[in-house]
Amino acid sequence: MLREILRRLVATIPVMGVVAIAVFALLHVTPGDPAVIIAGDYATAEDIARIRTKLGLDQPFVTQVGIWLGRIVRGDLGASIYSGLPVTTLIKQRAEATISLTLLAMLISILVGVPIGVLAAWRRGSWLDRGVMVFAVSGFSMPTFWLGFLLVYVFAISAHWLPVQGFQSIERGLWPFLRHLILPAVTLSVVYMALIARMTRASMLGVLDEDYIRTAFAKGLAPRRVLVRHALKNASLPVVTIIGIGFALLIGGAVVTESVFALPGLGRLTVDAIVRRDYPVIQGVILLVSAVYVLLNLVVDLLYVVLDPRIKY
Amino acid sequence: MASTLPALGADLAVAPPAERLSAAGRARRFARRNPTLLFGAVVMTVIIAGGVLAPAWWTGDPLEMQPADRLQAPSAGHWFGSDNFGRDVYTRTLYGTRVSLVVGAAVALASLVIGTALGLVIGFYRRLDAVMMRVMDGLMAIPAILLALALMALMKASVRNVIIALIIPEIPRVIRLVRASVLSLRELTMVEAARALGARTPRVLVRYILPALVAPLIVQATYICASAILFEAYLSFLGAGTPPHIPSWGNIMAEGKTYVQLAFWIILFPGLFLALTVLAINLIGDGLRDLLDVR
């Protein structure tokens, strides 16, 4: 098993290499001189020259890629053009809000999405099932930021139950932290929850027709036990897979959710960097997020072994 | 045996053969069997008519500012209220439909054409396959919205560039779909037979493989269209999409962001249109998938 994990980790290196080169190459495949675009509309010739040297754009392309990859391997993502701070420092400053938001949203989506998917499949064709399906389709189509504003309007502006926006570090206490995070996390979770509920239902429908489920019911086991121990366990592979793949959606949603709720996270860092055309910061965030995505899907792959003993590596 | 025959005959007598139904009857039966497709199509027809014929629906000038009328709540004069410059939100929302529809349709069409062409080639030439699929895995590891944002940071804000920025993350996904189908289709007997009769690869691809791909690709196109419309709004909302002077749903909502507490309608109505449009297109996709029996 340990050898398999190592082998898989090594196998992610080419994928991450492609990500790194692609993110870097974007600077060159987009039309126009990148130094001129990054410098902005009011830049002087000196500004442009300075940026060109700073980003190493005066070197041949292959040399640039080599230098860039070498720096990444050493954990150096360069420095922001705007503030001059190292990109890794900026990311560390902003990581808490994003990690809290995405983890909480993930937790809510799984804790709600899986049970409603199971119930919908169990009561197939009932009103409950239809309700879950309507939620799954409409939740998936919901513009995240619009939903965020709706929730803010109802729970913060009209009812005054929760703060409109902002973030409190967990160091200031659990309750202030959760109070500020609950609306953004619910907002962000809806799309992901819809996806998980739909996949759980579909996967459960396939399993519930099996003989061993009928046997389990026939021998008088409690429905809850049959659904969870017998059915869900066997239906869990596609669900776990969609949780891994759906993480990309979650991150995209986090960028807009942070903007709606003024959370000081990586999404805001990216959006600010885009307005300032601070490309090193954008590169750094994309690289980091993609790495997390690849690793998460690696964990999903390894989970298969735990969930299904027939799969052996 | 004999006793079952009359029963069968009776069944047949009750249900008239399909060809005897009138055109209207057939349409009604089609609608009854495909409710999601019908609902999606009706909503989309209304929205397309709203956008294309925007000047005909009692709208004004989407750019006209009336400072005296700023931040008015919905009323007979301003159906969806007015924004911070006194512009009519109803008019702007209807005109905003145009940007969304153009972006959705263009992204779906272009990523489909480019992705299919590349996918066919990659799927058929084994030497390319291994390398190209690693490259695609890498590209797909970058969340689409971040890739689009990065591209917008490097290009001037325009509708054309938004379309380009949204096509690029979609292409690897289409390539993957096409390649997977090609790999299974090329093992079919008819393809083998065609090859044995001397058909060259381009002919096999166009005459035998491509037709089998039409149904899954149509379904995929609807999903791409829905997500492109959503992403255009995200990009515009974040200030990295359609230029601010063009009324698009994302832009209207971005401007309304500051006035959530005072004038919630600036965000409510364009968002409602956006949610309904994306929902309708996704429902059309689901309906087509069932109808065309994809997967």
> What is the secondary structure of B161-220 as a DSSP string?
HHHHHHHHHHHHHHHHHHHHHHHHHTTSHHHHHHHHTT--HHHHIIIIIHHHHHHHHHHH
Q: What is the ipTM of this complex?
A: 0.88
Q: Which two tokens stand for residue A242?
A: 């969609």
Q: Which of A62-76, A292-306, B269-283 has the highest mean pLDDT?
A: B269-283
Q: How far apart are CA B114 and CA B111, in angstroms?
A: 5
Place of tokens 């609950």: A182
Check whether A41 has a pLDDT greater than 90.
no
User: For residue B134, which residues of chain A lie inside 8 Å, CB to CB?
Assistant: 14-15, 18
Report yes or no: B108 at the A interface, CB cutoff 8 Å: no
Q: Write down the mean pLDDT value for chain A.
A: 87
Q: What is the pLDDT of residue B17?
A: 52
Q: How far apart are CA A249 and CA A191, in angstroms?
A: 8
Q: What is the pLDDT of residue B4?
A: 39
Does the beta-carbon distance from B146 to A15 stay under 8 Å? no
A199 — pLDDT class (breaks 50, 70, 90): very high
More confident residue, A201 or A27: A201
Q: Which ranges of chain B have pLDDT less than 70?
A: 1-20, 295
Contact B149, B235 (CB under 8 A): yes
Q: Which two tokens stand for residue B137?
A: 């895995």
Which phi and psi angles does A263 have, rounded to 5°?
Answer: -90, 130
Lowest mean pLDDT among A95-99, A156-160, A182-186, A212-216: A156-160
* Closest-CA distance of chain B to residue A165, Å: 12
pTM to 2 decimals? 0.87
Q: Which of residues 136-155 of A touch B (CB under 8 A)?
A: 137-138, 140-146, 149-150, 152-153
Q: Which two tokens stand for residue A116?
A: 């409603």
Using CA atoms in the order A253, A259, A265, A270, what is the torsion angle rounded to 10 degrees?
A: 80
A273-278: average pLDDT: 84
What is the tens place of the pLDDT at every residue in A130-163?
Answer: 999 999 999 999 999 999 999 988 888 888 888 8
More confident residue, A65 or A92: A92
Q: Kind and range of the H or E element at A4?
A: helix A2-29
Closest CA relative to residue B242, chosen from B127, B163, B137, B134: B163
Contact B252, B89 (CB under 8 A): yes
Q: What is the DSSP letter of B68?
A: G
Q: Measured at the alpha carbon of residue A268, what is the angle toward residues B152 and A161, in degrees to the nearest 5? A: 135
Q: Which two tokens stand for residue B289?
A: 């998938």
Chains A, B: CB pairs < 8 Å: 147
Q: How far apart are CA A226 and CA A228, in angstroms?
A: 6
User: For residue A277, which residues of chain B lie inside 8 Å, CB to CB?
Assistant: 153-154
Residue type, A207: V
How large is the C-alpha radius of gyration of chain B?
25
Which of A16, A18, A201 to probe the B interface (max B CBs under 10 A)?
A18
Report yes or no: B261 at the A interface, CB cutoff 8 Å: yes
Report yes or no: A289 at the B interface, CB cutoff 8 Å: yes
Q: What is the pLDDT of residue B171?
A: 94
Does the beta-carbon distance from B279 to A275 stay under 8 Å? no
Report yes or no: B267 at the A interface, CB cutoff 8 Å: yes
Using CA atoms in the order B19, B25, B26, B28, what is the torsion angle rounded to 10 degrees?
A: -160
Share above pLDDT 70 across residues of chain A, in percent, rounded to a whole number:
99
Report yes or no: B274 at the A interface, CB cutoff 8 Å: yes
More confident residue, A165 or A232: A232
The residue in chain B having the minimum alpha-carbon distance to the alpha carbon of residue A36 is B154
More confident residue, A56 or B286: B286
Report yes or no: B167 at the A interface, CB cutoff 8 Å: no
User: For residue B149, which residues of chain A lie inside 8 Å, CB to CB?
Assistant: 255, 270-271, 274, 282
Does the beta-carbon distance from A26 to B151 stay under 8 Å? yes
Report yes or no: B152 at the A interface, CB cutoff 8 Å: yes
User: For residue A150, which residues of chain B lie inside 8 Å, CB to CB?
Assistant: 268, 271
